[in-house]
Amino acid sequence: MDQRQTFLLTGCAGGIGRHLTSSLLARGHCVYATDINLVGLAREGREHGWPVDRTLLRQLDVRDPAAWAEAVEEACKAFGELDVLVNIAGHMLAGWSHDAPAEEVDRHFDINAKGVIFGTQAAARRMVRQGHGQIINIASMAALAPIPGIALYAASKHAVRAFSLACAQELRPFGVYVPVICPDAVDTPLLVPQMNLDAAALVFSSPKLLSVEDLARCVINHALTRRPAEIVLPAYRGWLAKLTNCIPSLAFYLGPFFRNRGLHHQSQLKSALK
């Protein structure tokens, strides 16, 4: 990845998107960085010293297909073409499925699933004409096996994974690659509201949270260079999730153990924040 490329990223006002933007700019690339929170995005750009000649900061509501089309067009006009789209923006609010209000159902699927679909469509139309490109979609370990307590999030991320794997087959003949990354829980602001929710215990069942640095390395050193259809991070947790997905009854036996471990980790994290 020595040659300068143009990236379009979502969710850049914090977490994975913010760190990946900084990492790509440090490597000399051009980044069209977006977020629904333009004020926060601009603040991050100033604080991290993102170079103005290689960075465009724009507000983007990923739920709006027209806004996606405009973003891709502007990125291409500014930097010549679009080489890589990374769909990062996401939404999670843990809770029991029977208690979830209708607006939370909409929010999970509008942002997590439809946002990725609209973005993939907009980028793919341009990349097919170019004859090359990559669309990297961030799913979740929850896309590999249903997770009680985050049923809406898991369902929306299952949709992201399925859509991405199907698009990978459709688009590769045109020179466009679509890796989907399924990471375990990542230490980002998305997790903070979940720390006080018992329903989110399984989110914290991993021995260690992934870092934004882990995700950036995965994108830069693995997805962009090897271009696999799917990356699971870490691999051993992914195999356990896939096994549970293949044999759903295992979840009833393994679930209580991992839930108790998650509750313990939640308690530790809350204590550390005090």
pLDDT tens readout for residues 72-112: 999 999 999 999 999 999 999 999 999 999 999 999 999 99
The pLDDT value given to residue 89: 98
Name the residues annotated as catalytic: 153
Classify residue 258: in a domain, yes or no.
no
Residue whose structure tokens are 């990223």: 9
Q: Which residues are paired to 134 by β-bridges?
A: 84, 177
Domain carrying residue 174: 6-200+209-249
Total count of domains within the chain: 1
Classify residue 91: in a domain, yes or no.
yes
**At 174, which CATH number?**
3.40.50.720
Is it the case that residue 120 has pLDDT exceeding 80?
yes
Classify residue 49: in a domain, yes or no.
yes
Question: CA 173 from chain center: how many Å?
Answer: 25
Classify residue 121: in a domain, yes or no.
yes
The pLDDT value given to residue 273: 77
Classify residue 66: in a domain, yes or no.
yes
Q: What percent of the chain has pLDDT over 90?
A: 96
Classify residue 273: in a domain, yes or no.
no
pTM: 0.97
Nearest to 182 by CA among 228, 149, 137: 137
Is it the case that residue 32 has pLDDT exceeding 60?
yes
Classify residue 223: in a domain, yes or no.
yes
Classify residue 267: in a domain, yes or no.
no
Nearest to 216 by CA among 138, 269, 119, 133: 138
